[in-house]
Amino acid sequence: MTRRRWIADEVSGSRAALTGAHAEHLSRVLRVRSGQEFEIVAGGEVRRGRVAAIDESRVEFELGDAIFSAASLPVTLALSIFKFDRMEWAIEKCTELGAARIVPVITRRTDSHLAAAAPKRVQRWQRIAREAAEQSRRSSPPEISQPTELKEAVALPGSSRIVLAEVEEQVMLKDALQRDRFGDIILAFGPEGGWTDAELQLFRQAGWACASLGRTLLRAETAAIAALAVLLAERQEPNPAHKPPQSGLA
């Protein structure tokens, strides 16, 4: 059975601990016992962890050997703020797909009430990303930035910066990605209603490339997930722990 993975709240030498809600879930819901083993992310490294002490609000582990863990994709998502239930779903799924950073962006068509409430949602988004990272066995959750205005988002640095736009008819995302297969990538996704012409012009003036996911009109959260899936397929490296079967022929 695959061990459950947890991201430690505290790390000190060969010991790590989960505290608060994580510890309560482990002790009360999962009824963890001393001696059980889990995978623990401690200081950015995945290690074997044996339960050493249990309390309702704290579970301590004795750390063992390091375990191989795939790194996150070198991709930042500039994600225009949209309805929070769908925004949370997008953050969860993009975390599972390996996004390294998610930047919530306030655009011309972002609902004013959502823009005003977004800063108070960041902590919740970070918690969702952490839980998704543990579930998908990542070594760390993506960084969830504070909401930013579009004029600041277009200045984000990256070796390849691509804005997804439904008006683009010539360049597909797959083709745009092949131009830069190994650098840091930023993908920008518009709000409900799409980018305005002035916003797309702002991207172009800042040196961003435009790309499309096809003729189908996608919701913002669907576009982000689809784009990451394309990127993952383009950059997926074989697991070094997997060895192909031998033919048995001399």
Q: Are residues 230 and 121 in the same domain?
A: yes
pLDDT tens readout for residues 101-110: 999 999 999 9
Residue found under tokens 């070796």: 159
Q: Are residues 162 and 58 in the same domain?
A: no
Whether 246 is covered by a domain: the verdict is no
CATH label of the domain that carries residue 62: 2.40.240.20
With 0-12 CB in 10 A as exposed, 13-18 as middle and 19+ as buried, what is 178? Answer: exposed
At residue 222, the pLDDT reads 94
Of 178-182, 216-220, 241-245, the one with minimum mean pLDDT is: 241-245
pLDDT tens readout for residues 120-158: 999 999 999 999 998 888 888 999 999 999 999 999 999
- Average pLDDT of span 220-242: 76
Identify the band that residue 246 occupies on the pLDDT scale cut at 50, 70 and 90: very low
- Average pLDDT of span 221-228: 94
Whether 242 is covered by a domain: the verdict is no
Domain boundary pick from 20, 47, 66: 66
Let me know: does 40 contact 3? Beta carbons within 8 Å.
no
At residue 17, the pLDDT reads 93
Q: Answer with the residue of higher pLDDT: 46 or 149.
A: 149
Domain boundary pick from 66, 92, 117: 66
The number of residues making up the chain comes to 250
Q: Are residues 151 and 215 in the same domain?
A: yes
d(CA 226, CA 193): 18
d(CA 53, CA 38): 14
Mean pLDDT of the chain: 87
d(CA 38, CA 51): 8
Q: Are residues 114 and 160 in the same domain?
A: yes
- Average pLDDT of span 21-28: 84
Number of domains in the chain: 2
Q: Are residues 139 and 231 in the same domain?
A: yes
pLDDT tens readout for residues 187-220: 999 998 899 999 999 999 999 999 999 888 889 9
Whether 193 is covered by a domain: the verdict is yes
d(CA 60, CA 17): 4
Whether 228 is covered by a domain: the verdict is yes
Q: Are residues 118 and 203 in the same domain?
A: yes
Range of the domain at 36: 5-66
Whether 125 is covered by a domain: the verdict is yes
Whether 130 is covered by a domain: the verdict is yes
Identify the band that residue 97 occupies on the pLDDT scale cut at 50, 70 and 90: very high
Is 80 exceeded by the pLDDT of residue 244? no
Q: Are residues 112 and 177 in the same domain?
A: yes
Whether 102 is covered by a domain: the verdict is yes
Domain boundary pick from 21, 45, 66: 66
CATH label of the domain that carries residue 188: 3.40.1280.10
CB-based contacts of 231: which residues, under 8 Å, 6+ apart?
A: 73, 75, 173, 177, 185, 187
Q: Are residues 87 and 199 in the same domain?
A: yes
Q: Are residues 104 and 123 in the same domain?
A: yes
Q: Are residues 216 and 94 in the same domain?
A: yes
d(CA 197, CA 67): 48
